[in-house]
Amino acid sequence: MNWLNELLANDPDPTETREWIDSMRAVIDREGAQRAHQLLEGMVEVARRAGAHLPFQPTTEYINTIPPHLEAKSPGDAAMEWRIRSLIRWNAMAMVVRANRKPGDLGGHIASFASAATLYDVGFNHFWRGPEGDHPGDLIGVQGHSSPGIYARSFLEGRLTENQLDNFRMEVDGRGVSSYPHPWLMPDYWQVPTVSMGLGPISAIYQARNWKYLEGRGLLPKTDRKVWAFLGDGETDEPESLGAISVAGREGLDNLVFVVNCNLQRLDGPVRGNGKIIQELEGQFRGAGWNVIKTIWGSYWDPLLARDTTGMLRKLMMETVDGEYQNCKAFGGKYTRDNFFGKYPETAALVANMSDDDIWRLNRGGHDPHKVYAAYEAARNVTGMPTVILAKTVKGYGMGASGESLNPTHGTKKMDDEAVRLFRDRFNIPVTDAQLENHQVPFYHPGANSPEVEYMHERRKALGGYLPQRRRKSTESLEVPKLEAYDRLLKTTGEREISTTMAFVQMLNITLRDKDVGPRCVPIVADEARTFGMEGLFRQLGIYAPQGQKYKPVDRDQLMYYREDSAGQVLEEGITEAGAFSSWLACATSYSTNNLQMLPFYIYYSMFGFQRIGDSAWQAADMRARGFLLGATAGRTTLNGEGLQHEDGHGMVQAGLIPNCRSYDPTFSFEVVTIMQHGMQRMLTEQRDEYYYVTLMNENYTHPDMPEGSAEGIIKGMYLLTSTSPASGGGGRNGEAVSGGGTAKRRSNTPHVQLLGSGTILRECIAAAELLDKDFGVSADIWSCPSFNELARDGHDATRTNRLNPEAKTPAKPYVTQLLEGRQGPAIAATDYIRIYADQIREFVPMRYTVLGTDGFGRSDTRANLRRHFEVDRFHIAHAAIAALAADGKMTAKDVARAIKQYKIDSEKPNPIGV
């Protein structure tokens, strides 16, 4: 029984139904499928208006979206391209196999590229534009595990040497190539890092959106360039892979193409053994407003589908689950005949005249260059919506018994000699048996003047140059405002109390008025602008919305109303830290992708920064991002009232883990300004590949004048704020500045301490110094330490230099040591972060060193109570100073006991770490 008979079997009026179907067939024959679609849409609308419930069907039949008669035809030389593709397959396989026949167990992947070779080959030959000439070039996000195939293509093009391929995954001595796409390791080659899985897709979405944003603001000309993102079907289980696809659909990102390599297998087995991943993805993407192109079956299936007059083959294709499709490719033609086609008499009859080998050769769409070309051409011409191509392939294609369509295929990195010979024969590689003797797998290059290589050069020349390639620096270096431009923020606020968050907002407003840097500033928030006092930017700059503002905002009668604009400068991303960071990353790498320097500022709750998007922050480091991350309401005791999930006591430690992230915890407005002006200079003028994390607080207090000569120390991470040192006190470059509080003159035998602090807890150190002076006659030097991370890096660099240069006449000296050497008393450090943050400079401190911090879980309460709980308030700092002086023999145990009593310190209180 065919599909029509099934449809009519329970129909109350089969004659009428048949007439409707015949009419629709006539429309298709005369006017085409598009006209038929329009008529059906109209009828659906009429039925719905009459009250009929017509549920949305998110999937279509399990066949190709583009029928054979509508396929665009490739202009390329099919035989030549197959030959080139085969050579690339061979060299990609050889890279991994050779690497793993050496000592060291280097790892690698063969199967992923084996399944995707055609998907890349068609793109390189016909679609992907290079950045030469007038076209800015496309951006290709290569699936990480397919990197050997990309290297193999570049080897044939002459862009990589045989020695580099032979040192795959052996980079330490500078000879090899990286395991995956890593711009940090190959800064002229890889465009974007795509491993860890899931980060490539979400980054691609926001990169495409960023191009629209820059075009909307008139900073980039409109072009037909596209972001092509490759991902595996298993990778779509990562929340980041699909979590932002609605953004692309909602904003109509027709400059974005996802190519999902649906080889039906993830690392350990089937992606959806009991289901159909292609159907599942089709429904998700269609529901999110994407154009979906399914490329499931290769050309060898076309005659079978054309002869499927009963519809039973289509029915069988829909019924068969992915686990069984995997079996069909793993076990060959006879298995497929018996267990797939043999399920119904009608389908068995379709292949009755085919041999088992003929059945095995029935190809999948992702391995058919004609089908792939048609899909890419359709994607290239879509307007108003993003496109996803769901291409069905075989994992480990060509690997035979070593891994074709087997569960362990993903991790296969070795092939025995027989498997290598079969691979050679299957792809007709001109390597002899003699060359394969003694466990050898040679690379093969047909020669620089061979027809294959000349064809490759010809195609890339026509498309604007080679890919992947990466721009290291923008051709423009921007002059940034001098520190003096922010003069009013370098001076005391007098009696006026402000937060460092407000100091940043004021600095941003000054920067926005700069004619060169202002237009390049991109304020980014994840739906918290009002929390951070930035709502004034809504009216001033506008919020980017590609369709403008179609409504009157509810607060339109207010000065700072919510204004959306197609040329808006602010990116208000909604409640998505991952999305907001991806927007930041796109701007932070615009110098490379667009030859256009941008300066993004992503402002967020500090606790929802590195902890939440830490993997993306590492990706940004790899991609050589440049910009500012602002951790607002930073510190474990500063965001009072919010509690455990909001209070950040470890963000600075996490920031310090990223090698090219420079992180600071400033206390005063002049520190904020000095750090950020320095960062702008480094990133925009000097074009250094680093980015900055700066904490901001919502606690209001007065701010002093910037101490003379303190700029160097602020950037290096430490400077002397105030001093009541005895006359014999030492000190280096930043050890002179600042008049002291307390007693005007000190005797040299007066007990003395060094107090180090950062962020809001520096103010507790200042208050502790006053207590020590008033209650115990102890004097103090107060050091502001905006970055213990920078101090630690400097110290470790100095010790390494000395270790490697034992005969140097002038040993290197850590900056901390330079500042504290010769000064009296123990040092006490207190911050709003866990103790390990300030403790990391211990070996460079030339005196007894006590560290206080906020180890443990945050909780809701007032700032004063939280600081008392975590033992970082002024009273605990003063007590720690007395205890350290007693340990040094400068005070007594009775003094320590008196401090405990006087400052009401509960010695029976449990440790705040609380576990």
Tell me how far apart the alpha carbons of residues 201 and 84 are, in angstroms, rounded to a whole number: 28
- The rounded distance, in Å, linking the Cα atoms of 673 and 662 is 15
Is the predicted pLDDT of residue 724 greater than 90, yes or no? no
Q: Confidence band (pLDDT; 50, 70, 90) for 104?
A: confident
| Secondary structure (3-state) at 512 | helix
**pLDDT, tens digit, for every residue of 814-853?**
999 999 999 999 999 999 999 999 999 999 999 999 999 9
Whether the CB-CB separation of 113 and 180 falls below 8 Å is answered with: no
Query: Residues 6 or more apart from 319 whose CB is under 8 A from it?
Result: 343
**Position 2 confidence tier, pLDDT thresholds 50, 70, 90:** low
pLDDT at 747: 52
Question: So what's the pLDDT on residue 822?
Answer: 93
With a pLDDT cut of 90, the percent of the chain lying above it is 79
Q: Which residues of 464-482 are buried (b: 16+ CB within 10 A; e: fewer)?
A: bebbbbbbebbeeebebbe
Kindly tell me if the per-residue pLDDT of 4 is higher than 80: no
Q: Which residues of 710-727 are buried (b: 16+ CB within 10 A; e: fewer)?
A: bbebbbbbbbbbbbbbbe
Task: Give the helix ranges, DSSP H, for 464-576.
Answer: 487-490, 500-512, 536-541
Rounded CA gap, 634 and 649, in Å?
Answer: 8
pLDDT of residue 352: 96
Classify 646 as helix, strand or coil.
coil
Q: Which of 432, 448, 454, 427 is nearest to 85 (CA)?
A: 427
pLDDT by residue (tens digit) across 355-405?
Answer: 999 999 999 999 999 999 999 999 999 999 999 999 999 998 888 776 777
User: Of the candidates 285, 278, 272, which has an alpha carbon nearest to the alpha carbon of residue 323?
Assistant: 272
- What whole-number distance in Å separates Cα of residue 710 and Cα of residue 732? 12
The pLDDT mean for the chain works out to 92
Q: Which residue has the higher pLDDT, 184 or 733?
A: 184
pLDDT band at 742, cuts 50/70/90?
A: very low
The closest alpha carbon to 267, from 411, 391, 400, 110, belongs to 411
CB 382 within 8 A of CB 291: yes
Q: Is the peptide bond before 468 cis (omega within 30 degrees of 0)?
A: yes
pTM given for the model? 0.94
- All residues at 6 or more sequence positions from 64 whose CB lies less than 8 Å from its CB, including other chains: 294, 295, 296, 297, 365, 371
247 in Cβ contact with 284 (< 8 Å): no
Is there a contact between 843 and 734 (Cβ–Cβ < 8 Å)? Answer: no
Q: Which whole number is the average pLDDT over 738-742? A: 38
Find the mean pLDDT for residues 468-491: 96
**Contact (CB, 8 A) for 518 and 728:** no
Separation CA 765–CA 830 (nearest Å): 7
Which of 93-107, 261-275, 756-770 has the least mean pLDDT?
93-107
Structure tokens at 166: 């032979």
The mean per-residue pLDDT over the stretch 511-523 comes to: 97
* Phi, psi dihedral angles at 706 (to 5 degrees): -70, 125
pLDDT in the model for residue 915: 65
Residue corresponding to tokens 């003379």: 708
Spatial strand order of the sheet with 387-392 comes to: 139-141, 227-232, 256-262, 387-392, 291-295
Q: Crossing angle of helices 874-887/893-902, nearest 10°?
A: 170
What H or E segment, with its residue span, contains residue 101? none
Could you give the CA distance from residue 830 to residue 813 in angstroms, rounded to a whole number?
24
Q: Are 824 and 725 in contact (CB under 8 A)?
A: yes
Look-up: residue for tokens 């008049």?
739
Lowest model confidence (mean pLDDT) among 283-292, 390-399, 617-626, 740-749: 740-749
Number of other residues whose CB lies within 10 A of the CB of residue 855: 19
Q: 225-247, pLDDT tens digit by residue? A: 999 999 999 999 999 999 999 99
Inter-helix orientation angle 147-157/78-100, to 10° = 120
* CA torsion through residues 625, 681, 603, 245, sign: negative
Burial of 689: CB neighbours in 10 Å, binned 0-12, 13-18, 19+: buried
Instruction: Give the pLDDT confidence score for residue 226 in this predicted structure.
Output: 98
Structure tokens at 503: 């100091």
pLDDT computed for residue 107 by the predictor: 81
- 167-176, 358-367, 802-811: which has the minimum mean pLDDT? 167-176
At residue 36, the pLDDT reads: 85
Biggest CA-to-CA distance, the chain: 113
Query: 585, 668, 650, 638: which is closest to 612 by C-alpha?
Result: 650
Nearest to 652 by CA among 609, 714, 603: 609
Given phi > 0 = left and psi -120 to 50 = alpha, else beta, which region is 294? beta
- Work out the pLDDT band at 748, boundaries 50, 70, 90: low
Q: Is the pLDDT of residue 530 over 90?
A: no
605 pLDDT above the threshold of 70: yes
Phi-psi bin for 391: left (phi > 0), alpha (psi -120 to 50), beta?
A: beta
Asked if the model's pLDDT at residue 467 lies above 80, the reply is yes
Token output for 679: 């960062």
pLDDT confidence tier of residue 750, bands split at 50, 70 and 90: confident
- Residue 7: which pLDDT band, with cuts at 50, 70 and 90? confident
- Which tens digit of pLDDT belongs to each residue from 34-51? 888 889 888 888 888 888
Mean per-residue pLDDT for 467-495? 96
Condensed to tens digits (0 to 9), the pLDDT of residues 636-647 reads: 999 887 888 889
Question: What whole-number distance in Å separates Cα of residue 33 and Cα of residue 13?
Answer: 26
